[in-house]
Amino acid sequence: MKLYHSPPFKSVAPVDPGYLSHFVDPSTIQSCLEMVCNAWVNYLQKFVNETTKLFENAEFPWKGTERATVSSLAAAIIQGITGSLVVEEGRVPRIDNAGRCDLWASFPDPKHAGTRFSFYLEAKRSDRSKRPKALSVFLKSDKGVSSLFCDYGKSHRNPTNKLSAYADLPKRKHEHFVIGLLVTRLRAVEKDYPDIEAALHEVFENRQAITLRNRSGGEGQKRKRNLGRLPTVAVVVLPSDGRSGFLATFSVLGSTKGLLAK
């Protein structure tokens, strides 16, 4: 089965000098995340081809659990990006507490010799498939982009803090980003991509009302956030059956101090 995939979408930062990207060199960040997207798409096509031979039916990892989805991403990075390092479900201490991280990865930065692009990643996925016309509403809902911020806020007293909760680990000090991955299942075909792309521009390049986690319990707090200041890369993968696709968005939510814009 052939998988249609879009060219990776890359959000554009605001032009207002008072609201530029929160992070240094967003174009390099997006180029590295584009490598991740391309490696993932290539791996998934091979996975679908081989499972079709094995089982006489294609299997789609993203239709399974969150763990299955992240596992396929980890395999893609290892197989598709030379010199990469990956750990799933690693137990790591954070600023306030200890926990598990869905994925940590590191690979050589092709634009800067001798440096590596490293990140901790936390993933969320939708339970039900969305149609392209309903995508923008879902991404703006509490189960959309807000779910990434709520998860990120578990590690911070201030949920809007851009400093990584992993920044000062005594035995793990290295420059890195913290990325939120949102996987949204789609009922769509190739001709629907313009509608999907329009939703991505609308959501990830503008101010949105985001629900932030309330550490004292109770309902989360709604805050306006300019998502254009958070570099985002996305890829759409659509099998030819028209009902088993997905959208994956990678948004940078935090980093070590040296990677934050002044």
Write the pLDDT tens digit of every residue in 174-220: 999 999 999 999 999 999 999 999 999 999 999 999 988 665 555 66
Q: Distance between CA atoms of 221 and 149, rounded to whole angstroms?
A: 11
- Taking only Cα atoms into account, the Rg of the chain, rounded to an integer number of angstroms, comes to 18
Query: What end-to-end distance do the CA atoms of the chain give, in Å?
Result: 48
The predicted model gives 219-239 an average pLDDT of: 90
pTM (two decimals): 0.94
Rounded to the nearest 5 percent, the helix, strand and coil shares of the chain are 35, 30, 35
Helix (H) or strand (E) holding 54: helix 26-55
Higher pLDDT, 167 or 124: 124
- In Å, how far are 15, 55, 109, 250 from 36, measured between CA atoms? 27, 28, 12, 10
Q: Considering its fold, how many domains does the chain have in total?
A: 1
Residue 81 is predicted with a pLDDT of 98
Strands 116-125 and 177-186: parallel
Residue 145 is predicted with a pLDDT of 95
Q: Distance between CA atoms of 67 and 71, rounded to whole angstroms?
A: 6
Tens digits of per-residue pLDDT, 9-26?
Answer: 999 987 777 778 999 999
State the CB neighbour count (10 A cutoff) for residue 249.
24
Helix (H) or strand (E) holding 74: helix 66-80
* Confidence label for 108 from pLDDT (cuts 50, 70 and 90): very high
Q: 60 with 72: CB under 8 angstroms?
A: no
* Confidence label for 90 from pLDDT (cuts 50, 70 and 90): confident
User: Worst-scoring range by mean pLDDT, 135-139, 143-147, 148-152, 156-160?
Assistant: 156-160
Residue 217 is predicted with a pLDDT of 55
Q: Which domain holds residue 195?
A: 3-259
Q: Distance between CA atoms of 156 and 174, rounded to whole angstroms?
A: 19
The predicted model gives 54-70 an average pLDDT of: 93
Mean pLDDT of the chain: 90
Residue 212 is predicted with a pLDDT of 80
Residue 191 is predicted with a pLDDT of 95
Tens digits of per-residue pLDDT, 29-59?
Answer: 999 999 999 999 999 999 999 999 999 999 9
Q: Which two tokens stand for residue 213?
A: 């986690």
State the CB neighbour count (10 A cutoff) for residue 126.
19
Residue 218 is predicted with a pLDDT of 54
235: left (phi over 0), alpha (psi -120 to 50) or beta: beta
